[in-house]
A = this chain, B = another copy of it.
Amino acid sequence: MAEHTDDVGAELRRAVTRLASRFRSERLEGEVPDAALQVLVVLEKRGGMSLTELAASAHVTLGSMSQTVRRLEALGHLTKSRDDVDRRRVVFQLTAQGSSAADASLRHRRDWLNARLAELTEDELADIARAAPLLLRLGDS
């Protein structure tokens, strides 16, 4: 069993690292990078969010997230405002431009991945469908 877990673990690490890198290399000219896109996506889903909330959702430090949103703001993809109730707090919100940039990027990424997944058999696809939530659990551990 320990031997078996070893092999699975090594292969899993290799596969995940490689696939994550592959996702990144599919980025088109003009598209925002992954971390920035994830910010846009989560803002689209949840509306206005504070820096602390964004950093927590991305599992990065406040400093890192501050830099990311600064770049997105400079691109006009989001706005930043002070919370009226607690002036320490800033609230970031998606702009229309940011929303459409995110949608375009997501569509392109989805199409690429779906085309890859469509090359798999039904059984293979089912294997991946079963494994994905498990991988996410590992990632959140």
A contacts, CB < 8 Å to B: 2, 4-6, 8-23, 25, 34, 38, 59, 109-110, 113-114, 116-120, 124-125, 127-136, 138-141
Contact = CB atoms under 8 A, between A and B. Distances in A.
B18 A114 contact: no
A2 B15 CA distance: 24
A125 to B, nearest CB: 6
27 contacts: A2-B114, A5-B125, A6-B110, A6-B114, A8-B125, A8-B132, A9-B113, A10-B110, A12-B128, A12-B132, A13-B23, A15-B132, A15-B136, A16-B23, A17-B23, A18-B135, A18-B140, A19-B20, A20-B139, A22-B59, A22-B141, A25-B59, A124-B134, A127-B127, A127-B131, A127-B134, A131-B132
Copies of this chain in the oligomer? 2
A117 B8 contact: yes
Contact of A135 (B19, B59, B130): B19
